[in-house]
Chains A and B, each alone.
Chain A
Amino acid sequence: MPEPLIYDLGAPGRTGVGMPAPDVPLADLPAGLVRENLPLPELGELEALRHLTRLSQLNHSILTGFYPLGSCTMKYNPIVNEETARLGGFAHAHPLQPAEMMQGSLAVMYHLQEWLKEIGGFAAVSLQPAAGAQGELAGVLMIRAYHASRGETQRNKVLIPDSAHGTNPATSAMSGYRVVEIPSDARGNLDLEALKAECDDTLAALMLTNPNTLGLFEEQVQEAIEAVHAAGGLVYGDGANMNALLGIARPGDLGVDVLHYNLHKTFTTPHGGGGPGSGPVGVAAHLADFLPGPIVGIEEEGSEEMGPVYGWHQPPKSIGRLKAFHGQFGMHVRAFTYILMQGAEGLRSVAEHAVLNGNYLRVKLQGAYKVPYDRVCMHEVVLEGRWADAPDIHALDIAKRLMDFGFHPPTNYFPLIVREALMIEPTETESKEVLDAFVDAMLKIAEEAHTTPELLQQAPHTTKYGRMDEVKAARQLVLCCEIPKEVAVSE
């Protein structure tokens, strides 16, 4: 029995949380502007909370099971982060209070900026972008502003590898750039010759994800970056896969000019069922003046007794604001807490174990599954979910069957350059026992694909819901409950 919809619950006149009557004389409501109908549901408090609790139980989550969703870094989100972000001094801080009253918030932001600079090898950081995609937008807008400031407005194209996330081309197009796709070579690297052929004076930037979405470190990253720089272009680093690089290599050292971090991937802020993310951008010195602002700076140096005084600082050639106020501050507090608990050694250990786990799955699954680019991987491994001798089985069937074993499926059908791709990112917070259980399930499924393919094609079997009719959803659009009309506001 599916959980009822909120508009099918409650009863007319029922109230949940009541609010006190105004303790002031009543004013006249504005004539002609008062709404006649407020068609919200009427539930009791228990009824509402029971409904939302029951719904939660229909979710797979990191706290309830393994979640190897490639490219999303579904690692453990420390519970203490939830405590620190809710501390009264942070949770009740108004964003427009004067900086002098908000030295705690500014200190968190300042140190997080500094730490992200250190971790990525950059000269400056802005915490403003709301998510990775907005960090990308910030980066590409900065690149455009940089070229314009040098009078090089003829630079109108952005190079993007065919393995890249869809946000890369979408962002470039939003910023008015023409997108040129660069193929990958047989080892899963960016095709260097194809790249060099596009390096001319119309080149604005290369958008590079490293490790790339095949989970592989770009073996010719330095040559690629040098070629772009030699042509006067800049390199945008997509930081989606930073979890593999913490303490291993700094993108700024490799020559990346601007990179966004995903605090919700690398730095354990929760994914929240699809957000909020947080996508700070780090830049090399020549882009620092273009950062979205304001950012936090030191107004007065501290002394032995007193800490420094922090204040807002607008970069002189800033591309402007990307968001009202100061970014996803609650996520800054969580990331700050996490880095504080890790330190330099802890972060390196994170990347090392993420990569150890990725390679362990690679070798354990190799053979039963085809690994199209067969070399040491980084934090994730991409397999093909298909066999010549089981032609009716697709990556989707494998993904759905995994649910019967209690696992969240890997990312599937991405990257686009691998047929029937299964992209598996275990993360460092999963133990060997969990990985072994996952491997057992994957091997069992590979066997079933050949012996009892219908088991996969009909999967999942043990979940509360079966496969959904996505075509019906798109063709007969129902995007909200039936909202009751003609209901007068109860007084």
Chain B
Amino acid sequence: MTFVPHTDSDRQQMLEAIGVKSIADLFSAVPQKFRFPKLNLPAPLTEMEALGELKGIADANESADDLVSFLGAGAYHHYIPAGVDSILRRGEYYTAYTPYQPEISQGTLQAIFEYQSLIVALTGMEVSNASHYDGATALAEAVNMSRAIHRGARNKVILSPGIHPQYRAVVHTYEDGGDLQFVGEDLDLSAGPDALIDLIDEQTGLVCVAYPDFFGRVYDYTKLAEAAHAKGALLAVSANPTALGLLKPPGEMGADIVTGEGQPLGIPLSFGGPYLGILTTRNQYVRQIAGRLVGETVDNRGQRGFVLTLSTREQHIKREKASSNICTNQGLMMLAATTYLSLLGKSGLRQVAESCFHKAHYAAVEISKLKGFGLKFKDAFFHEFVIESPIPAAELNLRLLERGIIGGYDLGNDYKGMQNCVLLAVTELNSKEEIDYLVETLAEVAHA
């Protein structure tokens, strides 16, 4: 299947214009012994054959659509209104690139400006960038930002053990080998935010927490923000945007940087990506934020318009002095979130958040009534919670799967002593019937 439109006659005319005999003559600068390697690839397929092939491969997955799922842990199964994909499918959006030429890119630019606005409203912060790769890399950029804000002084970063283990791993990949020292990850999981306060000192540049945390728990971080600020440190909160439809936003708690995974805002699970990194801050730190920013201005005809702005922060101008090397955003995913929030609006997002909350609490109450099961933590939670099972989580999940249920995340993978702990997520897509089926099945399989 070729997408090259040239006819033989086109090729001939073009070669003549160039003054060479054959296309191969255009490659004489390539060392001869390496020129035109024979690639061992499958024979090409037509569109019809390729689609058939891919359908077969996709069918080899047993996805959340085929089964009942309570798996979350950083990626959530939510209802996506039909309108979202109708916008993403518009070639005017998905086949454009970074809006370098504002006169003919106002669609993308205004959409980003509106995304920035919606995210500011949701997080309670003052500035949002045009988006980042995902929730994990957005948190890593928060660490970079904090270093830039402190101009290299203050080399201690506090990472709560309640941050997603993979997010912490990404922060370490970005920063290990540098001059930062990370503390806090080995704190007692039951200790809550007060234990983090005890770690803050004059060397601390940044405190990082999650909201809800990896275990679904929600805390008011106001005291933590005050304690950080009292010592001259910053607070970064990695937040779930669905939760912010119901819960007090981190901006109101005094956070200096709010990051998050935007996938719940209308983006399919898609085996982990592409997702959407949310990155926001206070006005005073706008020059340290990574990534693209869109600002309002006017054109030479007096019309309101939008442009990429403050690009002097970025790599193509600052080169080795830039604080980040990012040169894209997650444009299309940003558009998905913008469309999702526009379609749901104030009442719709609140409905989704409340629905998740109530269903998760119903599930937690019913499961904790079961013999041998209990909730691991007593703290308030949003739509995820940890249950302790009488049998190892891995075994429990296998038995659930035999009965058509994708169980929760096995916390024994990441936390010592939690082999019997499962992190369950419940969203608006899980009906009462499904929850009751889970509860029933848990009772059955745990004592089988």
Q: Is the CB of B57 within 8 A of A107?
A: yes
Nearest residue in A to B398 (C-beta to C-beta)?
A98
- A13, B238: Cα distance in complex, Å: 31
1/0 contact string of B254-280 vs chain A (CB within 8 Å): 000000010000001111111100000
The answer to whether residues A29 and B246 also contact, given A59-B92, A274-B98, A473-B297 and a CB cut-off of 8 A, is: yes
* Residue from B57, B73, B144 with most neighbouring chain A CB atoms (10 Å): B57
B41 lies within 8 A of A254 (CB): no
What sequence of 0s and 1s flags, for each residue 52-92 of chain A, a beta carbon within 8 Å of any chain B beta carbon? Answer: 11011111111110010100101111101011111111111
Task: Produce 1/0 per residue, A206-228, CB < 8 A to B.
Answer: 00000000001101011000000
Q: When A248-B30, A328-B274 are in contact, do A323 and B17 touch as well, CB less than 8 Å? A: no
Give the residue of B107, B315, B362 whose beta carbon is less than 8 angstroms from that of A25. Answer: B362
Please tell me if the beta carbons of B97 and A360 are within 8 angstroms of each other in the complex.
Answer: no
Instruction: Determine if A356 and B96 form an interchain contact, defined as CB atoms under 8 angstroms apart.
Output: no
Bound CA span A38–B358, Å: 19
B299 touches A466 (CB 8 A): yes
Residues from chain A with a CB closer than 8 A to the CB of B218 are: 30, 33
- Closest 8 interchain pairs by CB? A325-B272, A95-B272, A89-B58, A63-B91, A343-B44, A272-B332, A104-B60, A27-B361
Q: For the complex, is A399 an interface residue (Cβ under 8 Å from B)?
A: yes
Q: Is B31 in contact with A321, judged by CB distance below 8 angstroms?
A: no
**Residue in contact with A84 in the complex, picked from B36, B51, B310, CB distance below 8 Å:** B51
Which residues does chain B contribute within 8 Å of A133, judged by CB atoms?
A: 315, 325-328
B338 CB within 8 Å of chain A? yes
Q: Which chain A residues border B164 with CB–CB below 8 Å?
A: 324
Minimal Cβ-Cβ distance residue in A for B19: A363
Query: Nearest Cβ in chain B — how far from A204, in angstroms?
Result: 12
Q: Which of A16, A121, A133, A349 has the most CB of B within 10 A?
A: A16
Asked if B330 and A56 make an inter-chain contact with CB atoms under 8 angstroms apart, the answer reads no
Q: Is B447 an interface residue (CB 8 A)?
A: no
A271 and B57 contact, CB distance less than 8 A: no
Indicate which residue in A49, A221, A376, A472 contacts B86 across the interface (CB closer than 8 Å): A49
Q: What residues on B are CB-neighbors of A22 within 8 Å?
A: 354-355, 358-359, 428
Give the interface residue-count category, chain B: 35 or more
Cβ proximity bits B1-40 to A, threshold 8 Å, 1 near / 0 not: 1111110001101110111100100111111001111111
Number of interface residues of A (CB under 8 A): 201
> What total count of A-B pairs have CB within 8 Å?
674
A115 close to B342 (CB less than 8 A): no
A403-B57 in contact given A2-B303, A19-B428, A325-B271 (Cβ < 8 Å): no
Which of B132-140, B150-158, B189-197, B228-236 is the interface stretch? B132-140
- Residue A409 lies at the interface, judged by CB distance under 8 Å to chain B: yes
**Are B338 and A52 closer than 8 Å at their CB atoms?**
yes
Residue with the greatest number of chain B CB neighbours at <10 A, chosen from A62, A84, A94, A222: A94
Q: Could you list 20 A-B pairs, sorted by A, with CB under 8 Å?
A: A15-B348, A16-B345, A38-B121, A52-B339, A59-B93, A69-B100, A84-B51, A137-B325, A248-B36, A254-B31, A273-B332, A274-B99, A276-B274, A324-B167, A342-B1, A344-B38, A376-B20, A399-B101, A466-B303, A468-B103
* Interface: A125 (CB within 8 A): no
A96 on interface, CB distance cutoff 8 Å: yes
Instruction: Verify A35–B106 contact, CB threshold 8 A.
Output: no
Partner of B34, one of A7, A249, A472: A249
Instruction: Tell me whether A316 is interfacial, beta carbon within 8 Å.
Output: no
Per the bound structure, the CA–CA distance linking A47 and B116 in Å amounts to 20
> Quick one: which of A148-207 are within 8 Å of B by CB?
148, 165-167, 169-176, 179
Kindly report which residue of chain B lies nearest to residue A30, judged by CB atoms: B380
B371 touches A (CB below 8 Å) = no
A-chain residues with CB within 8 Å of residue B103 when the two chains form the complex: 400, 403, 460, 463-468
Asked whether B419 is an interface residue with its Cβ less than 8 Å from the other chain, the reply is no
Q: Which residues of A contact B79 (CB under 8 A)?
A: 19
Quick one: which of A18, A134, A271, A460 contacts B137, CB cutoff 8 A? A134
**CB distance B344 to A477 under 8 Å?**
no
Contacts of A15 in B (CB 8 A): 345, 347-348
**Who on chain A is nearest to B379 by CB?**
A30
Contact for A324 among B30, B108, B134, CB less than 8 A: B134
Is A102 an interface residue, CB under 8 A from the partner?
Answer: yes
Of the candidates B244, B292, B300, the one whose C-beta lies within 8 Å of that of A35 is: B244
Chain A nearest CB: distance from B320 CB in Å? 4
Residue of chain B at shortest CB distance from A377: B26
Q: For residues 373 through 419 of chain B, which have their beta carbon under 8 Å from a beta carbon of chain A?
A: 380, 397, 401, 406, 409
